[in-house]
């Protein structure tokens, strides 16, 4: 075996991608009915019916999703189960390319019909990685759980370029956003308590002194902006890059809840390690594992073809990030528009502008429009004594979207009106997304009020058991009465 072999590394990566698809479907399945069912917040059936009335036959191409053909509750759940089964079979080594295509089509269908709840960057990243995974192993109707194939060098470099894009653009967007907190390295002073769903450790890290927050920010920029260039250097430099980038992902895991994003990012980083690393222990853990060093010319040609298609798209995102002239970008724009909803290629960069406050929306119900009782969400802050949860790799989509809604106005988030309508009609699947239901027979009135939250002092935590403090801001939504809605019985 030569130092430049990546067969074992590709095997590890393929398993990692399959695991991320499994995590994505496992998290989505219990939420499908509440989010997308007939009586869900954003019913896919209603969404598809409206689009069908307003668009022509081009809709099948412009918005690819299986749910054009059937969007009943049973079918929604069945597609979720199919995606889970396919990704599980891919993990077990049964015809991985075909199984990954199946899982990818299922997840793409949800993302394109998922509206507000499935528009996160890791959803796009999973789909982009999924496309490349089609070419990690030769196509064939075989069950080969313990066979590692040497990947095409073209495909290997596409994965590395994707990892570079993910990391480098994540740092670039922060610098180019003109957010002063990133430029003076104070952004992490706010991050731990303003992020969508903090975890318990985030509370204590947020209390560390400013010099620690600034030095952490500097280190983050080094890893995101400088370390990715080590990907393109030979030898052990890639090992160093992998170690540093994995270290950053682990720190994010320890202080936040970002679904399967960090697991997927770590899997991509592991692909930087050639087989001289994996050979030290992988055959001992999996003694049946064997390697195929050579693959067919057809398989290699597929890698070249996909490179010719994807590489210019990556260059487009880099050019767009650095605001290159439109004359340079114009030739690629029609291609980007044509394939955008297929998620072959995307741009990345979380927290370009750091949020420095934490507005929270509290849902309240009443029977007399005088006394208001709060609904508690499962994971986002509501009660002051509620400990920040550890929930990743599960993603509570409603709780996450409530964080985004609080940053805007009610008129910018009219899906909240659907949420209240479903509570009025006592939709069990929607109410199950919440932690409590103080009105089993549905309230007569509902409203959303806004508070400003922040972490409490450690003294308050130890004396009163309260992790949060909050200050009332005002009414966020109109007060809705049950009679305002035409409800299905």
d(CA 415, CA 159): 37
Q: How far is CA 471 from CA 273, 408, 454, in A?
A: 49, 18, 9
User: Tens of pLDDT along 182-203?
Assistant: 999 999 999 999 999 999 999 9
User: Tens of pLDDT along 80-114?
Assistant: 999 999 999 999 999 999 999 999 999 999 999 99
β-pairing verdict for 373-374 and 445-455: unpaired
The region, left, alpha or beta by phi > 0 then psi within -120 to 50, assigned to residue 296 is: beta
Tokens of 36: 């997308």
Tokens of 171: 């740092």
Evaluate whether 345 touches 317 at the Cβ level (below 8 Å).
yes
d(CA 314, CA 316): 5
pLDDT by residue for the chain (489 residues), tens only, comes to 445 889 999 999 999 999 999 999 999 999 999 999 999 999 999 999 999 888 888 888 889 999 999 999 999 999 999 999 999 999 999 999 999 999 999 999 999 999 999 989 999 999 999 999 998 888 878 888 888 889 988 899 999 999 999 999 999 999 988 899 999 999 999 999 999 999 999 999 999 999 999 999 999 999 999 999 999 998 889 999 999 999 999 999 999 999 999 999 999 999 999 999 999 989 888 888 887 876 666 666 677 777 777 777 777 777 666 665 455 666 667 777 777 888 888 888 888 899 999 999 999 999 999 999 999 999 999 999 999 999 999 999 999 999 999 999 999 999 999 999 999 999 999 999 999 999 999 999 999 999 999 999 999 999 999 999 999 999 999 999 988 876 554
Question: 10 Å Cβ neighbour count for 370?
Answer: 7
Per domain, the residue ranges of the chain are 7-342, 359-484
d(CA 14, CA 21): 11
Evaluate whether 303 touches 149 at the Cβ level (below 8 Å).
no
Q: Specify burial of residue 260 (Cβ count, 10 A radius: 0-12, 13-18, 19+).
A: buried
Q: List phi, psi (to 5°) of 434.
A: -95, 165
**Contacts of 104 by beta carbon, 8 Å cutoff, 6+ apart:** 21, 127, 130, 131, 134
Evaluate whether 449 touches 474 at the Cβ level (below 8 Å).
yes
Question: 10 Å Cβ neighbour count for 222?
Answer: 13
Q: 227-250: buried (b, 16+ CB within 10 Å) or exposed (e) per residue? A: bbebbeeeeeebeebbebbbebbe
d(CA 259, CA 262): 8
Tokens of 118: 């499935």
The position carrying tokens 């030095």 is 215
Q: Give me the helices (H) in 177-271, please.
A: 180-183, 188-194, 200-205, 210-221, 237-255, 261-270
Q: List phi, psi (to 5°) of 148.
A: -105, 120
Q: Report the SS3 class of residue 220.
A: helix
Q: List phi, psi (to 5°) of 441.
A: -100, 15
Question: 10 Å Cβ neighbour count for 10?
Answer: 24
The position carrying tokens 């009025």 is 424
Evaluate whether 186 touches 219 at the Cβ level (below 8 Å).
no
Q: How many CA atoms lie within 13 A of 247 on its CB side?
A: 13
Instruction: Tell me how far the alpha carbon of residue 175 is from its chain's centroid.
Output: 22
| CA dihedral of residues 52, 21, 105, 151 (deg, nearest 10) | 150
**Contacts of 153 by beta carbon, 8 Å cutoff, 6+ apart:** 303
Evaluate whether 395 touches 196 at the Cβ level (below 8 Å).
no
**Which helix (H) or strand (E) is 133 found in, with range?**
helix 121-133
| CA dihedral of residues 191, 193, 199, 202 (deg, nearest 10) | 70
For every residue of 352-395, DSSP letters joined together read SS---S-EEEEEEEESSSSS-EEPPBSSS--STTPPPP--TTS-
């Amino acid at each position: 075996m030569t130092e430049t072999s990546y067969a074992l590394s590709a095997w590890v990566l393929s398993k990692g991608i399959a695991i991320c698809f499994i995590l994505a479907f496992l998290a989505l399945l219990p939420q499908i009915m509440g989010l997308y069912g007939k009586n869900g917040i954003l019913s896919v059936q209603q969404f598809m019916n409206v689009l069908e009335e307003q668009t022509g036959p081009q809709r099948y191409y412009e918005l690819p999703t299986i749910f054009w053909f059937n969007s009943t509750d049973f079918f929604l759940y069945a597609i979720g189960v199919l995606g889970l089964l396919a990704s599980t079979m891919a993990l077990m080594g049964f015809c991985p390319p075909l199984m990954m295509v199946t899982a990818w089509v299922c997840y793409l269908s949800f993302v394109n019909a998922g509206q507000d709840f499935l528009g996160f960057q890791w959803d796009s990243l999973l789909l982009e990685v999924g496309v490349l995974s089609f070419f990690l192993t030769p196509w064939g109707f075989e069950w080969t759980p313990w066979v590692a194939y040497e990947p095409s060098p073209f495909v290997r470099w596409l994965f590395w370029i994707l990892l570079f894009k993910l990391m480098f653009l994540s740092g670039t967007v922060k610098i180019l956003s003109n957010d002063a907190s990133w430029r003076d390295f104070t952004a992490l002073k706010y991050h731990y308590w303003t992020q969508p769903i903090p975890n318990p450790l985030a509370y204590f890290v947020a209390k560390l002194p400013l010099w620690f927050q600034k030095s952490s920010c500097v280190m983050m920029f080094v890893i995101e902006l400088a370390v990715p260039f080590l990907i393109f250097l030979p030898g052990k430099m890639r090992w160093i890059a992998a170690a540093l980038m994995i270290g950053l992902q682990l720190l994010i895991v320890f202080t936040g809840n970002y679904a399967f994003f960090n697991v997927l990012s770590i899997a991509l980083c592991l692909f930087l390690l050639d087989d001289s690393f994996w050979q030290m222990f992988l055959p001992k853990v999996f003694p049946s594992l064997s390697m195929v060093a050579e693959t067919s010319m057809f398989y290699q040609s597929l890698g070249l073809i996909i490179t010719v298609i994807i590489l210019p798209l990556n260059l487009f995102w880099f050019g767009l990030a650095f605001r290159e002239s439109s004359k340079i970008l114009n030739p690629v724009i029609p291609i980007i528009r044509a394939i955008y909803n297929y998620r072959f290629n995307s741009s990345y960069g979380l927290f370009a502008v750091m949020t420095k406050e934490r507005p929270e929306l509290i849902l309240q119900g009443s029977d007399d429009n005088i006394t208001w009782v709060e609904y508690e969400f499962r994971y986002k802050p509501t009660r002051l004594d509620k400990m920040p949860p550890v929930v990743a790799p599960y993603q509570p989509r409603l709780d996450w979207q409530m964080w985004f809604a609080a940053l805007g106005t009610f008129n910018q988030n009219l899906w909240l009106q659907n949420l209240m309508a479903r509570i009025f009609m006592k939709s069990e699947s929607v109410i199950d997304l919440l932690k409590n239901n103080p009105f089993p027979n549905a309230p007569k009135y509902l409203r959303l009020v806004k508070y400003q939250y922040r972490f409490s002092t450690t003294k308050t935590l130890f004396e009163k058991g309260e992790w949060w403090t909050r200050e009332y801001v005002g009414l966020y939504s109109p007060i809705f009465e049950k009679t305002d809605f035409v409800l299905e019985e």
